[in-house]
Amino acid sequence: MSFLVPSRGAKIPLSILVLVICGFMFFVLLYAERISLMSSSTLSSNVLKLKSCPRKDLGSKPKDIVQEEKVREKKVPEESGREERSENMDVVDDRFEFDPEECNVAAGKWVYNSSAEPLYTDESCPYIDRQFSCMKNGRPETDYLRWEWQPDDCTIPRFSAKLAMNKLRGKRLLFVGDSLQRSQWESFVCLVESVIPEGEKSMNLGQKYFVFKAKEYNASIEFYWAPYIVESNTDLPVILDLKKRIVKVDSVEDRSKYWEGADILVFNTYVWWMSGIRMKALWGSFGNGERGAEALDTAVAYRLALKTWANWVDSTVDSNKTKVFFTTMSPTHSRSADWGKPNGPKCFNETEPIKDKSFWGTGSNKEMMKVVSSVVKHMATHVTVINITQLSEYRIDAHTSVYTETGGKMLTVEERADPMRHADCIHWCLPGLPDTWNRILLAHL
């Protein structure tokens, strides 16, 4: 797990012991579970369930990056007083309607709307992983559901399930990536599923490939598990020893065959690269296997992998038929010091977004972001970057925190009482922030 992150911790024998125990749990759960809706829906938890094992923050990263970002740590967000909430009803709104060419969705603010209600709940939508079902898992307050993203220059249309399904008529929408991408896929399915009558929809959950179908629309909304996009030895089952993980940076064919023919492709990959150690990479077709692997700087390995992806897109995707999107990194909030609470329990207990517009935490790596921009810029195919990073940076309140499960089990009372160790400040509640990512995605379709 990328969350079991850093090698520095792993040098301590105790950490190794814990990793071994976690690994054992992982294998037991991976092999013992039935292939069924429930078990498949633990795919991501199979992959992510280890998150409660002690780990250092994702914040741990290669030294140069840590230093580069040190400067920002000092920044303290503005007081986020409740009185700042307003519905802005009587302010003249001169923002233009969303236009993908013109609107910068990354610049804006979160506005509290007490009458906003999500289009689904974790009770109404049967497709949400327990891992993301914060309400069901006992999250006591619901304010995090009522913040709406308002770009400075434009308005993003509200998500309309009918509109979305009409856009998807006769089409395949495919999300490819990691567990954050998986939560975006679940969000999309949940946002639309209520307008599709019972009997007209189906869900097929495989090991890595998940397909939701809406018969009357002849449409499918799919997810393909590929945490690095390219091949690796740790997609499934996950290898716990970070040093044994190898990413095959020049190879994508074993999975890309499932992606061919999709009409809308949405990719992401980030958090798995941020293990805090140099990435072991393998390339070329020689038979010496793992021995040929070389440790590369994370950003270098990331660039090679994205280049492989870009070559596949440029050589395979018919850009007259297919729209290609790339979702930027989803921020992690495992260091309360980033928002001025040096002793705070990570994202636990946070109930409001950060108001300081310049806020950027140590969980988002700008060097990795630059790799994305540069690779996409040099592609022949037009790829639309859905830039969710800045708007998600503000949402320290929207993570699953302790209202989640680990190893297929809800956190225990004791675990909940120890958020420093057990709060998940990587993933997001559903309904919640990924619904906003999809609102932006739909505006582009």
Residues that bind ligand NAG (CB under 6 A): 87-89, 106, 113, 115-116, 170-172, 218, 318, 320, 328, 345, 349, 369, 372-373, 385, 387, 389-390, 419
Measure the CA–CA gap between 185 and 178, rounded to whole angstroms: 11
Counting every residue written for the chain, the total comes to 445
Q: Which residues contact 226 (CB under 8 A, 6 or more apart)?
A: 176, 177, 178, 208, 235, 255, 269
Residue 159 CA to residue 168 CA, distance in Å, equals 14
Least distance (Å) from ligand NAG to the CB of residue 358? 10
Q: How far is CA 348 from the centre of its chain?
A: 19
Nearer to ligand NAG, 87 or 290 (CB): 87
Q: Which is nearer to ligand NAG, 32 or 91 (CB)?
A: 91
Minimum distance, C-beta of residue 364 to ligand NAG, in the bound complex (Å): 9
Residue whose CB is less far from ligand NAG, 79 or 294: 79
Both tokens of residue 278?
A: 């140099």
- What is the bridge-based pairing of β-strands 147-151 and 231-232? unpaired
DSSP letter for 417, please. T
The CA distance from 179 to 343, in Å, is 28
Catalytic entry in 2, 129, 427, 435 = 427
> Which amino acid belongs to residue 294?
E
Cβ neighbours, 10 Å, residue 77? 18
Q: Which two tokens stand for residue 141?
A: 């307050």
Nearest approach in angstroms of CB 61 to ligand NAG is 17
Choose between 10 and 214: whose C-beta lies nearer to ligand NAG.
Answer: 214
Give the C-alpha separation, 302 to 272, whole Å.
10
Whether 41 is a known active-site residue: answer: no
**Annotated catalytic residue within 2, 52, 179, 251:** 179
Rounded to a whole number of angstroms, the minimum distance from the CB of residue 118 to ligand NAG is 10
52 belongs to the catalytic site: no
Residue closer to ligand NAG by CB (options 15, 389) is: 389
Residue closer to ligand NAG by CB (options 207, 218) is 218
Pairing of strands 409-410, 405-406: antiparallel
Q: For the CB of residue 33, give the shortest distance to ligand NAG in the complex, in Å.
A: 31
Rounded-to-integer distance, Cα 336 and Cα 354, Å: 12
Three-state DSSP state, 220: strand
Q: Is 160 a catalytic residue?
A: no
Closest separation in Å from C-beta 419 to ligand NAG? 6
428 forms beta bridges with 399
Phi, psi torsion values for 126, nearest 5 degrees: -80, 0
Residues taking part in catalysis: 179, 424, 427
